[in-house]
Amino acid sequence: MKTNQFKRLQVGNIPSKLALSLPFLLATVILIGFLIAGIIGRLDLAIRGLIIAVPSIASAIILCNIYKNKNKFENINVSLGLTQKQLAYLFFIVYFSSLTVVFISSTRTWLYLSLISLLYLTILLQIFSTGFNSRFILLQIILCMLNLIYSVTFKYPLYFGGTDILAHIFMSQVTYISGHIIPEELSIGYANFPLFHILISQTSYLLGLDIKTSYFLISAPIFALSVFFVYLFFLGTIENVKLSLLTVILYSNLSVVVYYGMYVITRTVAFIGFVMLLYIISKNKSGTKNKIAFKYIGILLTTFIVLVHQVSSPQILFVILILLLSEKFIWHFTNLKEKYWSSTYVLLFVVIFLGYWIYLAYSFTNMVLTTTFDSFISDSIQMERSVVSGNEWIFLYSNTDVLVLTFFVLIGIGVTLWRYSNNYSSVFALAALLFLPLYLPNPLQTLWQAMTLLQFNRFMLLTSPFVAFSMASGVFFFYNFLKTKQVKSLYSSLLIVILLMIFIIPPLAYNNPEVSSNTDRKYFTSEELDGLSYVLKYVPNNSSLYSDYYIKRYFCQKEFNDSDKLGFPFYNAQTIRSIDIVNSNGYFILNNEAFSERGLNLDPSSRFYLTKDDLSEWKKLNLELSKKNKIYSSTYISIFYT
């Protein structure tokens, strides 16, 4: 043991040296990025890069100044003359006001979002104060999250988010009515990973509610559980209550967390299993009672993750490997006291994951390997469809929260590795540094192969707790930096609160279609559902349906052996890929209301998108369809048949 400690002392404090080089590394990466954008003639990519470059340069300057000081870092303690009891009264007054506003309004208005922002502000003030009650603050964060989620999922007739909700509702209905998991002919990707659909169907059975209501009712508290386990995980490893609470509130306001709180699907539930697993792993330290029991629970959670969603298993395994390697790296070069991750557990995860994929879900495994290999071989490297010249300023406007996030995260990583390399928080800092290319916007995320084929975008949710932790650390370090510059405590606190509110507000607005005019509406209105119900009632099975992308996803019902027996309709739903497709036989469904609001996303693969200003194309499409039989007409939905 002494020999190992001697070797660690001999090699020097490598994490601290890494931290000292971070400002120069940031400057180099930014310079290279701008040079590449100039060489390939993509000024728009350079403009997009400002979202990372500006806060990176600012954080590098702050880090260089912090490294010159050797002051002890302290917790933020702010007193505005309000006790936690008074702040709690304010919280519940604002909370019930927000409920009133969302109930009496037809949509989620700016007033509602302002009240939600005020709720988070009151929680921040409680965290920054002295004598706070951590459990009560956790309860408030969970209540805010439930308020935000239900204001979407129960406010609108049918919220669908990224459209996977529509397919999961259908597969849960099949599970409920048939009494067994869905057949492979319905979905190879989910037939062998059925836990989520079993959960929704059994919830519907126990509560006596329809599948859609049960889906949205149970998904919100399931996701809100992540707040509780993220807090327990960081509290158990770093043993700092205030930092853990700040981590949790920042985590709950990350744009990806706000989005998936409303969009709970299989990969979201796999993430919840992962967060619970992190808490169980935090119990693997000296002095913990019933360690054997926690190990068995860890095995059960690992099995749950494998069975609830296919692609999440290798992605979670990758995140665990990064955490394991970060821990080994820090332990090797410092006097780290605790180690939580073991190679034995990683091997167990690999055995469960590969064993299930190879021996039981072999049809899915074969499909994944074949399609992925074919795509790599046949498809050339190409940009994502959303990365086009002309929308770079919209990108900057929509990601103002990333400015604040990047600034604090880089400060948190740098100072933690420099000053607290012997603390377990340095493991999280190193892991967060490695996770940043998967979380922050960068050239890798502009490639179709990375984002669509390898699903790099899904790593954002998995890495969000560690990004939030580094951001919370950065907030504390920046506050102490301001104190060393003789900035008054009130002004320092005010600046930090303003920066955090700039971080909190944009994700709330971005995930609100009534406020953000740059995104498609992610729900169907009751009038639109009336038109779509006409198809379900009167259009024969196996008919060809042509529509925009979202309506196509609504009619996701596929034929399987028991479709007729169980009374499920099935269609051949397609998108309107071009005007020429109107010559085909079948049913054409036009969403008139969606076009008048923001335009129609007719076919993402062919980039056929009609904005509300494309009146000539819209009139041309309607002129061609007017030659067919109009069987349903309203101001919202028109259906033609030929």
pLDDT-derived band at 70, boundaries 50, 70, 90:
low
Instruction: Determine the Cα–Cα distance for residues 381 and 637; give it in Å rounded to an integer.
Output: 39
- Residue in this structure with the two tokens 């790296």, named with its chain if needed: 329
- Answer whether residue 519 is part of any domain: no
Tokens of 110: 């700016």
- Answer whether residue 150 is part of any domain: yes
Q: What range does the domain containing 454 cover?
A: 2-510
pTM summary value:
0.91
Q: Specify the 3-state DSSP secondary structure of 615.
A: helix
Tokens of 432: 């967060």
Instruction: Determine the Cα–Cα distance for residues 413 and 21; give it in Å rounded to an integer.
Output: 12
> Which of 455, 481, 510 represents a domain boundary (last residue)?
510
Lowest-confidence segment of 175-179, 624-628, 635-639 by average pLDDT: 624-628
pLDDT-derived band at 9, boundaries 50, 70, 90:
very low
In terms of Cα–Cα distance, which of 241, 285, 297, 257 is closest to 465? 257
561 shares a domain with 498: no
Tokens of 391: 């929308």
Total residues found in the chain within this entry: 642
300 shares a domain with 370: yes
Task: Output the average pLDDT for the chain.
Answer: 86
Has residue 450 got a pLDDT over 60?
no
Mean pLDDT calculated for residue range 143-165: 93
577 shares a domain with 464: no
Q: Specify the 3-state DSSP secondary structure of 447.
A: strand
pLDDT of residue 201: 96
Mean pLDDT calculated for residue range 460-476: 95
- Cα 602 to Cα 521, 591, 629, distances in angstroms: 14, 10, 21
Helices (H) and strands (E) in the chain, counts: 28, 9
pLDDT of residue 516: 53
Condensed to tens digits (0 to 9), the pLDDT of residues 259-279 reads 999 999 999 999 999 999 999
CB atoms within 10 A of CB 511: 22
The DSSP string of 241-294 is: HHHHHHHHHHHHHSHHHHHHHH---HHHHHHHHHHHHHHHHHT-STT-TTHHHH
- Answer whether residue 403 is part of any domain: yes
Instruction: Determine the Cα–Cα distance for residues 287 and 291; give it in Å rounded to an integer.
Output: 9
pLDDT of residue 606: 55
Lowest-confidence segment of 116-120, 136-140, 578-582 by average pLDDT: 578-582
Lowest-confidence segment of 226-230, 299-303, 520-524 by average pLDDT: 520-524
pLDDT of residue 145: 96
pLDDT-derived band at 484, boundaries 50, 70, 90:
confident
Most confident of 47-51, 157-161, 215-219, 237-241: 215-219
In terms of Cα–Cα distance, which of 330, 491, 494, 338 is closest to 413? 330
pLDDT-derived band at 458, boundaries 50, 70, 90:
confident
% the chain with pLDDT above 70: 88
Residues 257, 268 contacting (CB under 8 angstroms) = no
Has residue 340 got a pLDDT over 70?
yes
Q: Specify the 3-state DSSP secondary structure of 632.
A: strand
529 shares a domain with 501: no
533 shares a domain with 627: yes
> Which of 510, 538, 554 represents a domain boundary (last residue)?
510
Q: What are phi and psi of 629, to 5 degrees?
A: -85, 120
Condensed to tens digits (0 to 9), the pLDDT of residues 40-65 reads 777 777 888 888 999 999 999 999 98
43 shares a domain with 79: yes
190 shares a domain with 43: yes
pLDDT of residue 1: 43
- Residue in this structure with the two tokens 């994929």, named with its chain if needed: 357
CB atoms within 10 A of CB 21: 12
The DSSP string of 553-601 is: HHT-----TTHHHHT----EEEE--SGGGGGSSSEEEEEHHHHHHT-EE
- Answer whether residue 520 is part of any domain: no
Angle 203-207-210 from CA coordinates, rounded to 5°: 75
Instruction: Determine the Cα–Cα distance for residues 205 and 214; give it in Å rounded to an integer.
Output: 9
Q: Would strands 587-591 and 600-603 be described as parallel, antiparallel, or unpaired?
A: unpaired
Q: Specify the 3-state DSSP secondary structure of 362.
A: helix
- Answer whether residue 557 is part of any domain: yes
- Cα 233 to Cα 20, 37, 236, 629, distances in angstroms: 28, 41, 5, 61
592 shares a domain with 480: no
Question: Which residues are CB-neighbours of 69 under 8 A, at least 6 positions away?
Answer: 481, 484
170 shares a domain with 115: yes
Q: Would you report the helix, strand and coil content of the chain in percent, each value rounded to 5?
A: 70, 5, 25
Has residue 554 got a pLDDT over 70?
yes
Q: How many domains does the chain have?
A: 2
Q: Within a 13 Å sphere around the CA of 123, how many CA atoms are in the beta-carbon half?
A: 32
Q: Specify the 3-state DSSP secondary structure of 11.
A: coil
- Answer whether residue 517 is part of any domain: no
- Answer whether residue 591 is part of any domain: yes
Residue 182 is given by DSSP the state: P
506 shares a domain with 533: no
CB atoms within 10 A of CB 373: 10
- Answer whether residue 366 is part of any domain: yes
Condensed to tens digits (0 to 9), the pLDDT of residues 384-393 reads 555 555 677 7
pLDDT of residue 368: 79
Instruction: Determine the Cα–Cα distance for residues 595 and 162; give it in Å rounded to an integer.
Output: 18
159 shares a domain with 68: yes
Beta strands in 53-180 (DSSP E): 158-159
275 shares a domain with 154: yes
